[in-house]
Structure 1
Amino acid sequence: MSAKSSKRQVTTSKQGKSVAESKSVVPRVLLAGAALAGAALWALAPRSRTDRERQNVTNMPDVFYAHRGLHDAGSGLTKQYQGTDGDYIELARRMARKAGYGAGPENDERPIAPENSLAAFAAACEAGYGIELDLQLTADNKVVVVHDPDLLRVAGCPQRIADLTYDELRHIPLFPNPSVYGDAKAEALSQAELEAEKIMPLPQQSQYQHVPLFSDVLKVVAGRVPMIVEYKFEGNEWGARQKLLMESGDALLRAYDGPYVVESFNPLAMRWYRQNHPEVFRGQLAQPSGFTGKSIENGVAWFAGKLGFNWISRPDFMAYDWSGGHSLPLRLVRALGAVPVAWTPRSAEELQRCGRDFDYFIFESFVPQKD
């Protein structure tokens, strides 16, 4: 055999071996890809239909849900939406007065139904809207309804909810000094006011609203409309205080005779319901977040926005930023059986834009209309 012939045989043998190896790699790559896709779907998957049926879980009622109640001061009432919020504010004030709140004259420009107040919840009930609200714990472990960790935005006071007792909270008016109702943010208290007594003189009850006890909210709602109850936490800490909020809030709900569902941004809160009360319809809150890789917190937020923690909570519904309804993770979760809930469209245009992506809507700043 010539040297050239021998060389050709070696080359052909190497080519054949290379082709054979490449053919064997393809199935492994496909298998690995399928495994990764399967793992991703497993992580995203909501609670199974079989488990819902076994636990006799009731779906959430099909109504519009008023964000933090039907309110005339607070969340969403910004200049961006001032062209659409006139009817909304008028409705909030009219319904609050119908429910017995706001004892002053009709032209009184002070807020009578600020966000997350008894008056705002009563107004939502009068208008026939469901309610979305937020739960936190006070310093004396009372369950109260308030969104922010402090009172700066809603009362002009920088004190934190966790540092105040309920008796102290009820002496601090919500939106005490806006020049006109419809403000999204309360005016900051002056230095003299901040240096004054920690507990202010208690005005007549009809003159202002304060952070309410959840138990009082339940008495006002009294089963008239459904509620979406959010368990509110700071950061990702999960310890005795967080568990106490879960236990205390749930105890009040279990004694309540009315329709409700629960939700949280923290998947551990919904895992608590998954383990302790699987019969309750539960939801995972999420929103899209960009990835910078500059911090662990950013990575966690990005992963949560991709619904990567659903394996912890196994939610029945996804409460997602209204602008992200077209995202692939949400579409996949919907296809897998989760109910999509939009928060928070603030105009008829925004509602129309997200209407095809969601089944339920938490709204504010405008009066929604059924198609």
Structure 2
Amino acid sequence: MGKNLGSKLIVAGALAAGAAVWAIKPRSFSDKQRNFVPAIADVWYAHRGLHDAGSGLEPQYAAESGEYVALARRMAMKAGYGTADFAGSIAPENSLAAFAAACEAGYGIELDLQLTRDGQVVVVHDEDLLRVAGDPRKIADLTYDELTRIPLFPAPAKPGDAAAAPLSDPVEKAKTAPSGYYQHVPLFSDVLRVVAGRAPLIVEYKFADNAAWNARCDELMEKGDQLLQAYDGAYVIESFHPGAVNWYKEHRPEVCRGQLAEPISLSSGDIKGWLAGLLAFDWISRPDFVAFDWHGGPTPQLKATRWMGAVPVSWTVRSRSELEECDPYFDYHIFEAFVPDEQY
């Protein structure tokens, strides 16, 4: 009886291990060859562009972010955005100025795609504008025309700020465009025009719910890809939503595709998030690379998928000490808030 039970447990364990390996297996080498899939470019990737206000500029990174903000402003001005005497943000995150600055500095770019209410593909990270513009309204509820009148990080925001101050009456303020220099949420087509092949792109498709799929999701995929097909420059795509990465598997197998993920504790109660962090849904997307939270470098699932051929990309590294800690586990890095040294 004991021997039979032990044998069954061994077989069950072997089957579970086999299923886990099958689930996280990346795209095969033969599939890559057959579809002439390009490799992800070997550069540093500036998170949401090289920016002087926005993501990553929190107090805990202040010791190094000053150099980063100064570089972002200098490169943005070199590209023709803003002036040295402008006291506000010249190149806020995910703006044309931030992307131009990254190009001038020689970095690749990571950026985020969403749809406006009128079906325009724009580049913005959050579901709403509260953090980046002080406006609580959602991107999906605004037209692109409305977005052009909403400045990113308006006064009293200053260089190095991580968040904008809430506006007292955002609807009224957005009725007319403000005077003077400002950046707003850009069209993806305008971003592609500004980058113009000068920097490789990591293009993330963003969704409010990474476990659901609807007609708006299809619309974003189709319109975003249509713009990329007309673009003459290097790019790869990624998403937290395995359905979005699968869309490229089914429709554009020649594009290098990546699965975004982060390790989530089972104690959080988010079962789907926990499974996604284990890369358990990679069987849907069969990615070429895995963009993983830099804290998760040592996790068994990332080590296993790397061993099977997936390229590991870290997000988002915000200091030299974080880089030193995670560098052994990743081939490429998405960074912000510090200026990477050549040694890394």
Smaller-chain TM-score bracket: over 0.9
Alignment of 1:282-361 (within 5 A): 282-292=257-267, 294=269, 298-361=270-333
Question: Secondary structure of the equivalent of 1:288?
Answer: coil
Aligned to 1:253: 228
The one-letter amino acid of 1:346's match is R
Count residues in correspondence.
Answer: 342
2:49–2:98 contact (8 Å) kept in structure 1: yes
Aligned to 1:84: 64
Alpha-carbon deviations, 1:257-285, whole Å to 9, x = none? 00000000000000000000011000000
Alignment of 1:150-299 (within 5 A): 150-190=128-168, 193-194=169-170, 196=172, 198-204=174-180, 207-235=181-209, 236-292=211-267, 294=269, 298-299=270-271
Aligned to 1:14: none
Selected match of 1:108 from 72, 76, 86? 86
Question: Secondary structure of the equivalent of 1:27?
Answer: helix
Aligned Cα root-mean-square deviation (Å): 1.2
- Residues in 1 aligned to 2:186 and 2:268: alpha-carbon distance in whole angstroms: 40
2:148–2:185 contact (8 Å) kept in structure 1: yes
Aligned to 1:133: 111
Aligned to 1:6: none
Give the structure with higher Rg (CA): 1
Q: Gaps spanning 5+ residues in structure 1: where?
A: 1-20
- Residues in 1 aligned to 2:173 and 2:312: alpha-carbon distance in whole angstroms: 47
- Residues in 1 aligned to 2:55 and 2:233: alpha-carbon distance in whole angstroms: 26
- Residues in 2 aligned to 1:166 and 1:80: alpha-carbon distance in whole angstroms: 35
- Name the CA shift for 1:179/1:215 in 2 (closer, same or farther; >3 Å): closer
Q: Gaps spanning 5+ residues in structure 2: where?
A: none
2:75–2:102 contact (8 Å) kept in structure 1: yes
Moved more, 333-342 or 170-179: 170-179
The one-letter amino acid of 2:115's match is L
Aligned to 2:78: 98
The one-letter amino acid of 1:200's match is T
The one-letter amino acid of 2:323's match is L
TM-score, scaled relative to structure 1: 0.90
TM-score, scaled relative to structure 2: 0.97
Aligned to 2:125: 147
Question: Secondary structure of the equivalent of 2:153?
Answer: coil
